[in-house]
Amino acid sequence: MADHQTELLKTALYDLHVELGAKMVPFAGYDMPVQYPLGVKGEHLHTRAKAGLFDVSHMGQVRLTGEHRVAELEKLVPGDIAILKPGRTRYSAFTNDDGTILDDLMITNAGDSLFLVINAACKDDDIVHMRANLDNGVELIEIDDRALMALQGPDAARVLARFAPSVAEMKFMSFAEIDIAGIACFVTRSGYTGEDGYEISVPNERAEELARKLLAEEEVEAIGLGARDSLRLEAGLCLYGNDIDTTTTPVEGDLNWIINKRRREEGGFKGSDIILDQLANGADRKRVGIKPEGKAPAREHTAILNSDGEEIGEITSGGFGPTVDGPIAMGYVAIEFAATGTKVDLMVRGKARPAEIVELPFVAHRYYRG
């Protein structure tokens, strides 16, 4: 959370949030909407049923240019960026020399450049990290004149296609530069809810205009950070700073899938020796899904115990899942307790409560793959 002594930054949609009755909170240095009058549960369920509009303009947007941009970025991430075709997007992570995660990010091949979206709380450090490590004529351009919004949910494609018919043909993790209602936008078919949807980068001066057009559609409601968190938790998606950080490796975080075959064979990214050793020989712990019994949610930092009462791990994200109508959580456990179906106990308010290790996600992903 931001320091109250410092002035909070405002996104291009700040005035609209206030007009819509949002409860504003400090988040990653910005004044952001945590919920609207519909409430977190109502916003969550609406996004799963229809379409929700999120302001994610606090995220960082960056372009990398230069002939060697791909090879240089591959020094910092374990993903195979060289095989990323123009108009395609990939999820990856910045690793450090210890093999742990500095941030997770989205990388798009925009043709003449790489377009990156990085986390709000990490973006200043990420930019310093990239400037210090990207050589061979690669230029980093911070994009600070564009807002970012996400339209998520089963009706997202239908709604957005009214303003830009071509978006309906886009597949999951694809990118295009498209005019939406006459506004030049960068669009990826992606998101952070497990639902179909889009992230839309729009010029700051046109952001409110586009947001109002989308919110005027009967299927769309404004959604705050509270529901964004419960939606991503149900989808089993990591939150940087909770589920992954500089104490966790991609292997521990169950993110092996971001390390492609060539990178496993060649290495060459920061911390690759440690990460590749864990891929070959296993890690000591693993991020897992956890389903508490009963109705009491287990929050982050809740201790996870084995049947002998010994601590074997900790909850990193936990709360109530409106779609599953019960408490859900993610966390790390010692590898011998990571198998689906393992019974564990959670120390909730000083009392051991039963829970079970379950497969992620809690709610099936509904991405559009064509």
* pLDDT bracket for residue 2 (50, 70, 90): very low
Does 320 have pLDDT greater than 70?
yes
Does 55 have pLDDT greater than 80?
yes
Does 4 have pLDDT greater than 60?
no
Does 280 have pLDDT greater than 70?
yes
Give the residue-averaged pLDDT of 277-299: 97
Q: Is the pTM of this model over 0.85?
A: yes
Does 16 have pLDDT greater than 60?
yes
Give the residue-averaged pLDDT of 55-81: 98
Cβ atoms of 54 and 215 closer than 8 Å: no
Q: What is the mean pLDDT of the chain?
A: 97
Give the pLDDT confidence score for residue 51 in this predicted structure.
Answer: 99
For the segment 323-369, what is each residue's pLDDT rounded down to a tens digit?
A: 999 999 999 999 999 999 999 999 998 899 999 999 999 999 999 99
Does 176 have pLDDT greater than 60?
yes
Give the pLDDT confidence score for residue 227 in this predicted structure.
Answer: 98
Does 3 have pLDDT greater than 60?
no
For the segment 225-269, what is each residue's pLDDT rounded down to a tens digit?
A: 999 999 999 999 999 999 999 999 999 999 999 999 999 999 999
Give the pLDDT confidence score for residue 5 in this predicted structure.
Answer: 54
Give the pLDDT confidence score for residue 338 in this predicted structure.
Answer: 98
Does 125 have pLDDT greater than 70?
yes
Give the pLDDT confidence score for residue 6 in this predicted structure.
Answer: 75
